[in-house]
Amino acid sequence: MINTDICIIGAGPVGLFSVFEAGLLKMRCHLIDALPQVGGQLSEIYPQKPIYDIPGYPEVKAQELVDNLMEQIKPFKPTFTLGERVDHLDKQEDGSFIVTTSDKTHVHAQVIVIAGGLGCFEPRKPALENLEAFEGKGITYMVKDPETFRGKKVVLAGGGDSALDWTIFLSNVAEKVTLVHRNETFRGAPDSAAKVFDLANQGKIDLILSANLKEVSGNGVLDTVTLQDKSKVDFKIDADYLIPLFGLSPKLGPIADWGLSIDKNAIEVDTRDYSTGVERIYAIGDINTYPGKLKLILCGFHEGSIMMQSAFKYVYPDQKLSFKYTTVNGVNAF
């Protein structure tokens, strides 16, 4: 049995930063993640993706951010269970919980923090007839190593931030980059969209709007992507790689059975402290929902900070919380 103050389900960036906020309050954390490494989506799906909205970093690679977060929480000595899924949550008579994982690891904690990002997630795939035949043979749903695409013909499909960011990044790596989007406008950040239009105007990428993926073909490996425009006219483009970036399909898994209030695969929380409807269980990051919710890492950092202040009363019920500034006291003083 692993004994801790706070059990954090999800070792993505929001879960990791919450360890820091807990450590300032002298609360110990144990993190559980179904992935074999920390970092969540950042490490698993796009470790080399540039991130532009972390305060103090005009640009930071996803894995670099994870590495920095791990360095930041090192003084507080968190412990981890990785590569195991949380299967059961059992409330004890004193209000605490025992968490049981898929490999029968047991964790006893006073407070549960769900920071599981989108939960158990998988990429949304386009409805193409022979898609699976080319998965791993030219079709991929993530960019783990951009160098894989150096000197290649790459087709990206999508209209969100990931499609825009990777189009910008790969324009300096691939021989040819084509971005396909079914609409005339993008869902992603306006600044990123403007950069993509500029690249297209400069002839550095091909931008095809109001078109859909129709077919993929090749002899053992992908070599052609067929598109269909809004007039239902088909046309083919050469491609070494197709990267559909249509987002992730969230699945809450066993969390859905914990008596929490769920709205469209997200956990409803009280914005005063990001508590759920079940006492001692909190939800932070992309997995929660509330009016005005923004699915940004920096918003998750804020939620984790507020939440840990609230969790203090369960870990130290006889103590009064005294908020201190790290700029005055330093980290080692906590």
Q: What average pLDDT does range 25-38 have in this prediction? A: 90
Q: Where are the domains of the chain?
A: 2-121+248-333, 125-244
Report the C-alpha gap between 58 and 251 in whole angstroms.
Answer: 32
Task: Select from 309, 301, 304 the least CA-distant residue to 283.
Answer: 304
Q: What average pLDDT does range 58-85 have in this prediction? A: 93
Report the C-alpha gap between 268 and 288 in whole angstroms.
Answer: 6
Report the C-alpha gap between 159 and 128 in whole angstroms.
Answer: 18
Q: In the structure, what pLDDT confidence band is assigned to residue 258 with cuts at 50, 70 and 90?
A: confident
* Token pair for 145: 């190593």
Q: What's CA 146's distance to the chain center, in Å?
A: 19
pLDDT for 117: 67
2-121+248-333 carries CATH number 3.40.50.10880: no
Domain 2-121+248-333 and domain 125-244 have a common topology: yes
pLDDT at 48 over 80: no
Which class in CATH covers the domain with range 125-244? alpha beta
Q: What is the DSSP string of 217-286?
A: E-SSS--EEEEEETTS-EEEEE-SEEEE---EEEE-GGGGGSS--EETTEEE-BTTTTB-SSTTEEE-GG
* Token pair for 105: 């690891």
Residues 33 and 7 sit within 8 Å (Cβ to Cβ): no
pLDDT for 14: 95
Report the C-alpha gap between 242 and 178 in whole angstroms.
Answer: 9
Q: What average pLDDT does range 273-280 have in this prediction? A: 95
- Average pLDDT of every residue of the chain: 89
pLDDT for 84: 83
Q: In the structure, what pLDDT confidence band is assigned to residue 143 with cuts at 50, 70 and 90?
A: confident
Report the C-alpha gap between 59 and 180 in whole angstroms.
Answer: 25
* Token pair for 284: 């932070």
Share of the chain above pLDDT 90, in %: 68
pLDDT at 98 over 60: yes
Q: In the structure, what pLDDT confidence band is assigned to residue 249 with cuts at 50, 70 and 90?
A: low
pLDDT at 50 over 90: no
Encoded amino acid at 51, one letter: I
Q: What average pLDDT does range 74-95 have in this prediction? A: 92
Could you identify the residue written with the tokens 């080319």? 134
pLDDT at 278 over 80: yes
pLDDT in tens, 169-198: 999 999 999 999 999 999 888 988 999 999
* Residues comprising the chain, all counted: 334
Q: What's CA 246's distance to the chain center, in Å?
A: 14
Task: Select from 133, 295, 149, 154 the least CA-distant residue to 216.
Answer: 133
Helix axes 13-24, 62-73, angle to 10 degrees: 20
pLDDT in tens, 282-333: 999 999 999 999 989 999 999 999 999 999 999 999 998 876 656 555 555 5
